[in-house]
Structure 1
Amino acid sequence: MPTRTVDYSLYLVTSRALLPPGQDYLESLEASLQGGVTLVQVREKDAGTKEFLDIARKSKDLCARYGVPLIVNDRVDIALAIEADGVHVGQEDMPIQIVRSILPPGSIIGVSCNNVEQARQAVESGADYIGIGAIYPTATKELTQPIVTVRGVGAILSQLDGSNVKAVAIGGINSTTVLRVLHGAVSTSCRALDGVAVVSDIVASDRPEEAAGRLMQVLRAFREGTSSRCGLALENRPPTDTRKTLLIDQIASLLETVRSRKPLVHQITNVVAATQSANVTLAWGASPIMATAPEEMPDLANVCDSLLVNIGTLRQTEGMLIAGRRYNATYKPVVFDPVGVGASQYRKGVMNDLLNAWAPTVIKGNAGELAVLAGSDEAKSRGVDSFGAGFKDPASFVRSLARKERCVIALTGPKDYVSDGDVVVELSNGHPLLGEITGSGCIGGSSIAAFCAAASTDPGPVPGRPVCGDMLLATVAAITSLNVAGELAAARADVAGPGSFLPALIDEISLLRPDVLKSRLRLDFI
């Protein structure tokens, strides 16, 4: 095993064929090291032994000056000749046990893994790290194995539980995709990646130091970043009653912020409920844009304050894919509502495509929908509806799913549960008539998007998280405010049933005052 700590954060894999015209290999490598590369693998698939040896030796000398380990791809003989720090092998190369017996003690040995079984074998064979990929399609090498995808990494990472084996992801990772990979590649036990391996984004750049610096900026900020949880630090929390009082005050304050800030909310949503969603957004004091064309997404992401993606009626999935990426790139909230995801394999596929492409800030759904997302059979769905007893322990479920998805999870039902992976808030407001109108869940997603937009803040010059701001508070505030408005609407003398309830609900949303909201809120920390 290595005798020193290895930083796998930004793992550069070299490829001289990708260098821009006129770019010297060693100058590019040194600039990459100056930009923050923490580990280098020399990969020379087409070079002869003498040429490979020369390149590897010069690379080793350069890396040594920066205190960065150097690993040789495939060639154990080259690694021995230059006294490299280790070797990386593929599935068809020399077995790890034999490589270990040849190399000096303390050498780093890594292996490429594309599936769960390969990862299990790597752990048993004594690998120091695994390279998981390809995450995305890549032109830097011919792929002989299926694409792993961001969401496929978690199952592979699970095989490392209880071991000291590290993991990096590789394949199509660049400054645009790296944040999604860091957020989405997590096992059920919350085992995360130790780093990312990058090829073309650095090697093919005219400014490799800047390219490496951008990646390291995101990596460092991602690891150092902490999310605000209802404005309460995890340590030294006050008593529960005090926390509840503070949260209720914050909810009422955020309701006023929505109305004063008047955020612009982009909604790609269920066409059945688009009118209701737009009217509810206006009633909160925000402004809706109901746009789906892929060509509009770059411009809208620049001017809107948040995005809702609702797959209730699946059209323009390309627009959904582009929009999520664009809003991630501008560090604005993205609310995902996987409506009816259990109804068909097509919907499940679309959900996975979306979540492989971008990072949601909030995922909202009923028990059946979130069970599909989590791969659980504890709750069932029929069409867009959830049925059955639901989760035995909904608080634990949402906490676990929020940790795995690295976002806020909102489980809706007779009682609502919202978690950021640490805090769980149980919400008890609401009225049965909310479940008797078309699109009540959809307007819930619209409300969350409006409140998240109002709660979001400028991420600053070093954006390491998709969104800055208290998104747990925003989600709790949106759901409870909508539910209280539903209670007030149902109590009106002019409401006789679902037909008269919807317009009354829109009225009560627009009329809801912070003091009335505070007096009616029923919530608890779990």
Structure 2
Amino acid sequence: MATPKPAIDYSLYLVTGRDLLPSGKDYLESLEESLQGGVTLVQIREKNTDTGEFLEIAKQSKAICHKYNVPILINDRIDIALAMGADGIHIGQTDMPIAIARALLPPNSIIGMTCNTPEHVRQAVKDGADYVGIGPVWATQTKKVAHPVVGVRGLGEMLEVLDGTDVKAVAIAGIKSTNALQCLHGAVSKTGRPLDGLAVVSDIIASTDPRSASRRLATVINAFKARPLHTFSLASPSSYARDTLLKSVGIMLAAIKQNSPLVHQITNNVVTTQSANATLALGASPIMATSPEEMEDLGKIPGALLVNFGTIQNLDGMLAAGRNANINKKPIVFDPVGVGATKYRRDSANVLLNTWQATVIKGNAGELAALANSSEVQSRGVDSVGQGFADPASFVRDLARKERCIIVLTGVTDWVSDGTTVIKLSNGDKLLGEITGSGCMVGTSVATFCAGASLVAAAARSSDAEDGMLARGDMLAAAVGGVLAVTIASEIAATRPGVKGSGTFLPVFIDELGQLTEENILQSANVEIL
């Protein structure tokens, strides 16, 4: 009977590169410190080293790795792996076939394969790989890649190939402590199959303190894996009842009015004034900043970020704002206005969503169909064309799973989902659709309630799980609250004396948004939880 292979922890997978060591830092010292910090698997990569030197480095590395009971793999060179008794090898698409490598290596050796497409993954599984390194996730200076960057969102399709198999997966290229959580959160198959680990190079090797660098990464990875549900919702589907959900919304509204969180908005210049007024009416503080140079400082201020690219004028500012929001665990609401109208808008949305992880994506049927590459609904400029989705509940659920965030589909009826729970909202007056920027104000309101959700969570959160979350608070409830605030306020405003049409409706609507209470929401909300 064959001896079973040892269990391998792929969580924090270090790929070495001596050329990246900081001045004065010894390689073996750096390796040992990285192991002390939490590295669980090591691959020795020496692309430009003579065989004798490579063998000596590999032997010395093995002694240190095994001192900490960490397996060691060799990149490409089976001769080196055999000569020094490595635990396995990692091979690329143009290297020796897995079958031949398996025949040459001792039984139970670990074999990993670099994969850049779902087809690569499928073949690696067929050939008997123990794990696959999938990517490149981001561009990197440590290795020239022959395949284009797939982005975080491209990893899910490759992970789907592994559903039902024992083959493990680690993400590779450009991963560091500041984007590790985004990668873990976003790289999940539709069925929930996650990554098994992250492969890291420069963030550890180039550090003057590799122990701390490894510890930061290990903390993020372990905290993420410890959370039972990797979602922006805090409650299980069965716990969402109408009154409980609306009570949460009311608590968020109270927190907003009491604390006036900052809601940073990079938004459509047509609606800047309306959006700022809506933010103030709800009790929050708006700032409309677009310069990339401001984003690091703004990202540190508690609140939320809204990115509305209706008039895409500063894509670099949007990229920097989102990156810093993710780093500081601030919720991000993305409103891809008119995304289906031009190739530039579609490309820009793709770049943004591969650079940072959105907490909520809000759009009309045409915009979300374009984002999902669905032909079911067409768009004309910022408007949807046609009858809408045949099954909007399934659409928002599926898109939320794909994008790993809350989806808000706006229309005559609004739909909200976190990928499991779907909530149907049927409030709103027709005058809302007759004023400029009503949809943009929904995005503003959702972002404001997300800031409120963060405030509520901050008052009660457990520090044990903080590093495993990209945004703190129940963002499904926040998205529902943001939609209801606008739609219920519109219903109340439409009944007020003096409102004769869209011109008189807008200022009264802002007034009613400012006077909205938890009681209004509980009494008026037309909510169905599916």
Give the TM-score taking structure 1 as reference length: 0.95
Q: Give 1:232 deviation, angstroms.
A: 4.1
1:2–1:108 Cα contact (<8 Å) kept: no
Residue equivalent to 1:217: 219
CA gap of 1:409–1:2, structure 2 versus 1, over 3 A, is farther
Structure 2 Cα separation of the partners of residues 227 and 7 of structure 1: 20
- Which of 476, 500, 516 is residue 512 of structure 1 equivalent to? 516
Secondary structure of the equivalent of 2:468?
coil
Aligned to 1:446, the other structure's residue is in SS state helix
Task: Quote the offset at 1:365 in angstroms.
Answer: 1.0
Pair 1:318-2:316 in alignment: yes
Instruction: Name the amino acid aligned to 2:365.
Output: A
Say if 1:229 and 1:423, in contact at 8 Å, map to a contact too: no
The answer to whether the Cα contact below 8 Å between 1:230 and 1:247 also exists between their aligned partners in 2 is no
Question: Which residue, out of 410, 415, 421, partners 1:423?
Answer: 421
User: 2:232–2:471: 8 Å Cα contact kept in structure 1?
Assistant: no
Aligned counterparts of 1:519 and 1:139: Cα–Cα separation in 2: 57
Which of 481, 484, 487 matches 1:480? 484
Report the CA distance between 1:142 and its aligned residue.
2.5
How do 1:6-21 and structure 2 match up within 5 A? 6-21=8-23
Runs (5+) with no aligned partner, structure 1: none
User: What is the aligned partner in structure 2 of residue 182 from structure 1?
Assistant: 184
Counterpart of 2:58 in structure 1: which amino acid?
A: A
Which of 79, 82, 85 aligns to 1:83? It is 85
CA distance, structure 2, for counterparts of residue 372 and residue 154 of structure 1:
19
| Cα deviation 1:406-426 (Å, max 9, x = unaligned) | 221111112111122222211
Alignment-mate amino acid for residue 431 of structure 2: L
Q: Is the 8 A contact 2:359 2:471 kept in 1?
A: yes
Conservation of the 8 A alpha-carbon contact between 1:173 and 1:197: yes
Report the Cα offset of residue 145 of structure 1. 2.5
Matched, 1:333 2:342: no
CA contact (8 A) 2:224 2:230 kept: no
- Partners of 1:3 and 1:101 lie apart in 2 by 16
Distance 1:61 1:227, change over 3 A: closer
Instruction: Describe how 1:431-450 pairs up with structure 2 within 5 A.
Output: 431-450=429-448
Q: 1:270 to 1:334 in 2, by over 3 A?
A: same
* Structure 1 position 147, deviation (Å): 2.1
CA separation of 1:230 and 1:361: change in aligned 2, threshold 3 A: closer
- Tell me the alpha carbon deviations over residues 468-506 of structure 1, each in whole angstroms, 9 at most, x when there is no partner: 111111111111121110111112231222222111211
Q: Which residue of 2 aligns with 1:102?
A: 104
How far did 1:138 drift?
1.4
Shift in Å, 1:47: 1.6
In the TM superposition, what is the alpha-carbon distance from 1:176 to its structure 2 partner? 1.4
CA displacement at 1:133 relative to structure 2: 2.5
In the alignment, what sits opposite 2:136? 134
Corresponding letter in the other structure for 2:266: I
Tell me which of 462, 469, 488 is aligned to 1:465: 469
CA offsets, 1:19-61, max 9 Å, x none? Answer: 1222222211111111111110011112221211111122122
The CA deviation at 1:184 is 2.1
* 1:172 correspondence with 2:174: yes
Q: Which runs of 5+ in 2 are unaligned?
A: none
Matched, 1:199 2:197: no
1:228 CA displacement: 8.3
Is 1:335–1:449's contact at 8 Å kept on the other side of the alignment? yes
Question: Residues 414-462 of structure 1, C-alpha deviation per residue, up to 9 Å, x if partnerless?
Answer: 2111122222211111112211211111000100111111110347475
Contact persistence 2:130–2:168 (CA under 8 A): yes
Provide closer, same or farther for how the CA distance between residues 304 and 252 of structure 1 changes in structure 2, counting only shifts above 3 A: closer
How far off its partner does 1:304 sit? 5.0
**Structure 1 position 152, deviation (Å):** 2.2
Paired residues in the alignment total 521
Which residue is 1:408 aligned to?
406
d(CA) in 1 for partners of 2:361 and 2:340? Answer: 15
* Partners of 1:504 and 1:2 in 2: CA distance: 71
1:183 CA drift (Å):
2.0
Shift of 1:18: 1.3
1:274 counterpart = 2:278 = no
| Cα distance, 1:256 vs structure 2 | 2.1
Q: State the one-letter code of the partner of 2:106.
A: P
Q: 1:41 aligns to what SS in structure 2? A: strand
Q: CA deviation at 1:336?
A: 0.7
2:518 & 2:152 partners in 1: Cα distance?
A: 41
**Which of 31, 34, 57 is residue 33 of structure 2 equivalent to?**
31
Aligned partners of 2:258 and 2:427: how far apart in 1?
25
Structure 1 CA distance for aligned equivalents of residues 420 and 481 of structure 2:
18
Which AA in structure 2 matches 1:463?
D
Which segment drifts farther, 437-446 or 302-311?
A: 302-311
- Given that residues 231 and 418 in structure 2 are in contact (C-alpha distance below 8 angstroms), is that contact kept between their aligned partners in structure 1? no
Cα distance in 1 for residues equivalent to 2:302 and 2:66: 48
- Cα 1:2–1:499 change in 2 (3 A) is farther
Amino acid at match of 1:518: L
Contact 1:266–1:304 under 8 Å retained in 2? no
Query: Is contact 1:184-1:356 (8 Å) kept?
Result: no
- Asked if structure 2 preserves the Cα contact closer than 8 Å seen for 1:158 and 1:188, the reply is yes
Q: Is the 8 A contact 1:333 1:361 kept in 2?
A: yes
User: How far apart, CA to CA, are the structure 2 residues paired with 1:12 and 1:153?
Assistant: 20
Determine the structure 1 residue equivalent to 2:501: 497
SS, match of residue 300 in structure 2 = helix
1:7 Cα offset (Å): 1.3
| Per-residue deviation, 1:512 | 1.8
For residues 208-237 of structure 1, what are the alpha-carbon distances to aligned partners after superposition, in whole Å with 9 as ceiling and x for unaligned?
110000001111111223478876445xx4
CA 1:231–1:324 in structure 2 vs 1: closer, same or farther (change >3 Å)? closer
Return the offset for 1:200. 0.8
Q: Contact between 2:179 and 2:327, CA under 8 Å: does it hold in 1?
A: no
8 Å contact kept, 2:232–2:473: no
Contact 1:410 1:417 in 2 (8 A): yes
Q: Which moved more, 1:162-171 or 1:83-92?
A: 162-171
Give the Cα–Cα distance (whole angstroms) in 2 for the partners of residues 262 and 90 of structure 1.
53
Question: Hey, what does 2:151 align to over in structure 1?
Answer: 149
> For residue 357 of structure 1, what is the amino acid of its counterpart?
T
**Match for residue 367 of structure 2?**
369
C-alpha distance in structure 1 between counterparts of 2:214 and 2:207, whole Å: 10
Secondary structure of the 2:46 match is coil
Is the 8 Å Cα contact of residues 303 and 330 (structure 2) preserved in structure 1? yes
Q: In structure 2, what is the equivalent of residue 285 of structure 1?
A: 283
| 1:160 to 1:525, Cα distance in 2 relative to 1, 3 A | same
Judge conservation of contact 2:73–2:88 (CA < 8 Å) in 1. yes
Q: Please give the TM-score of this superposition, normalised by the length of structure 2.
A: 0.94
Q: Structure 1, residues 133-180: CA drift from partner, whole Å, max 9, x if none?
A: 322221212233222222222232233233222211111111112122
Code of the residue aligned with 2:412 in structure 1: it is P
**For residues 167 and 231 of structure 2, what CA distance do their matches in structure 1 show?**
31
Post-superposition CA distance 1:286-311 (Å, at most 9, x none): 11111111112122222351110001
